[in-house]
């Protein structure tokens, strides 16, 4: 190295700053892909992670030459900007709507649900008849105080609870709950016989 260049040459031969701005943004993207950031308090988790990274950078840059420190500051700013943009996209992303369970029927009575189910069955709409038939069965048991009114309950939970009350109908309840899930969540077709079986089960439990 030419002695005449002095300190300027020493600054020029310093190793390049790592990571670069592009690499910093890539690190943020990889960090956001970790499964724990899809849980609640994602913003809080990212702030803690960013603070930890920046603390490490401040420590590393404390004894670095001015140009290197400035470069670290630029990378840090790019990292913060990238983080803000990514979090804003995550917040704008629509949440997939969850299908309604058998008790999520907006205060519709069991009689009304059963009427709709029978009309659908008579019109050849077996899937609709099966779904409303199972809903009518569940709501009727709520009305008779044999089942808690829990709109978030699944069909399996409804069948399990009623199976304890009607042990002789446990198998039929489990089969009806399975069909309800297959039609509602799996978009599987139903036969008129399957729908009629759910309505017949509702009649048996009502008696």
pLDDT tens, 94-149?
444 455 678 877 768 999 999 999 999 999 999 999 999 999 999 999 999 999 98
Q: At what angle do helices 110-122 and 192-206 cross, to 10 degrees?
A: 150
What is the mean pLDDT of each successive set of 10 residues along the chain, which is 207 residues long? 49 49 58 53 66 69 68 71 66 51 81 96 97 96 92 92 95 96 95 97 93
> Which residues in 152-177 are b (16+ Cβ under 10 Å) and which e?
ebbbebbbebbbeeeeebeebbbebb
Q: Please state the pTM of the whole predicted model.
A: 0.54
């Amino acid at each position: 190295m030419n002695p005449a260049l002095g300190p300027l040459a020493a600054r020029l031969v310093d190793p390049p700053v790592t990571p670069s701005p592009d690499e910093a943004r890539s690190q943020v993207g990889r960090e956001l892909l970790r499964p724990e950031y899809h849980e609640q308090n994602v913003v809080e988790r990212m702030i803690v992670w960013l603070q930890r990274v920046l603390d490490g950078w401040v420590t590393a840059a404390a004894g670095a030459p001015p140009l290197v420190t400035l470069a670290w500051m630029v990378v840090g700013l790019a990292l913060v900007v990238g983080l803000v943009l990514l979090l804003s996209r995550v917040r704008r992303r629509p949440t997939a709507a969850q299908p309604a369970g058998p008790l999520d029927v907006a205060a519709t009575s069991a009689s009304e649900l059963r009427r709709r189910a029978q009309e659908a069955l008579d019109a050849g709409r077996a899937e609709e008849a099966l779904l409303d038939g199972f809903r009518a069965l569940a709501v009727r048991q709520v009305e008779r105080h044999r089942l808690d009114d829990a709109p978030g309950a699944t069909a399996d939970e409804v069948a399990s609870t009623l199976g304890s009350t009607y042990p002789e109908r446990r198998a039929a309840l489990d089969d009806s709950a399975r069909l309800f899930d297959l039609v509602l969540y799996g978009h599987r077709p139903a036969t008129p016989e399957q729908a009629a079986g759910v309505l017949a089960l509702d009649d048996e439990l009502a008696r």
